Amino acid sequence: MSDKTEKRHVGQYVASGDWSDYWTTRISMAQGGKINVRGYPVEELIAQLSYSQSAFLILIGELPDEREAALFDLTLRSGMDQQFISAAVGAARFTASASPESAIPALASGMLASGSITGSPQEPAEMLIESVSLELEESAACKDTIKTWLERRGAVPGLGHPIHKEGEPRAVTVRRLAIDLGGWGLHGQRLDAIEAELETQKSRKIPINLAGAIGAILADLKIDPLIIGGLGALAYGMSLLAHITEEIREGVPLRIIPNELGANYAGPGERHLPDQGRKS
């Protein structure tokens, strides 16, 4: 899903003096005693939809069919924790150790650390959408995609993991279940082909990771990559909240990194200002 609405800018409102549509949303309407979300009374949504169905409606604007709902729910529940193998967990726990009054600041820190290097599915989705749109046969498109992304940022999004070298358990399971649901479409198949081509080029396996699997599934559902990136952070949010609560209740206030845990100074040795450089 992508929004093709013409971009607005504040200058047009200043020039015209007409601010009637300055704040406009298609998501919900709220009046005294009444809330509609995407046109549906909120009472019906709360009573009849699951969390993932409600999320799909809010984000996409329409209710998911059975297959879409199953695939969307699969991606949301796949953000299972993997100990400390995530920069987002470190950021969240550091913040929690310094601000134990509430989980919210630490949760925000973890979300902010959910970027392209941490494992956001946004870049894999963007890569796959771009790759599928190439007017090339599959082998040539894969070679072109790999070359483009290695030049663009030195790595191919959606592939590779620091400890899982043959297969990322979450990604393997998500891919298998997506295939069973008929949800491993053009973008998922292109990711498979890119994985195979990269293995040929590197002479070693660089497996699909969870971000790649999620990005492929949601790209096949035609969801906007911006939303896909946000969903990756939200899917891991429950794991972050668990880490944050554990840190506040059981952790060490004010986490530090001592030399014994890897802190390493690599600057110049002790030195002193020359006499002429000191203030009189």
The proportion of the chain whose per-residue pLDDT surpasses 70, expressed as a percent, equals 96
DSSP string covering 86-102: -HHHHHHHHHHHH-TT-
Q: Measured in Å, how far apart are the chain's first and last C-alpha atoms? A: 67
Least confident of 121-135, 150-164, 177-191: 150-164
Q: Which residue has the tokens 């015209």?
A: 16
Helices (H) and strands (E) in the chain, counts: 12, 3
Report d(CA 91, CA 244) in Å as an integer. 10
Structure tokens at 99: 């601000």
- Residue 33 DSSP one-character state: T
In this predicted structure, the answer to whether residue 204 has a pLDDT above a threshold of 70 is: yes
Report d(CA 31, CA 115) in Å as an integer. 37
> Mean per-residue pLDDT for 17-40?
93
In this predicted structure, the answer to whether residue 1 has a pLDDT above a threshold of 70 is: no
In this predicted structure, the answer to whether residue 181 has a pLDDT above a threshold of 50 is: yes
Residue 277 banded pLDDT, cuts 50, 70, 90: low
Contact call for residues 42 and 18 (beta carbons, < 8 A): no
Query: Across the chain, which distance is largest between two alpha carbons, in Å?
Result: 79
Strand duo 28-31 + 40-41: pairing: unpaired
Given this model, what pLDDT does residue 280 score? 62
> Mean per-residue pLDDT for 84-109?
92
Question: What's the mean pLDDT when you consider all of the chain?
Answer: 91
- For 237-262, write each residue's pLDDT tens digit: 999 999 999 999 998 888 889 899 88
Domain residue spans of the chain: 36-65, 87-250
Looking from the CA of 227 toward its CB, the CA atoms found within 13 Å total 20
Find out if CATH 1.10.230.10 is the number for domain 87-250.
yes
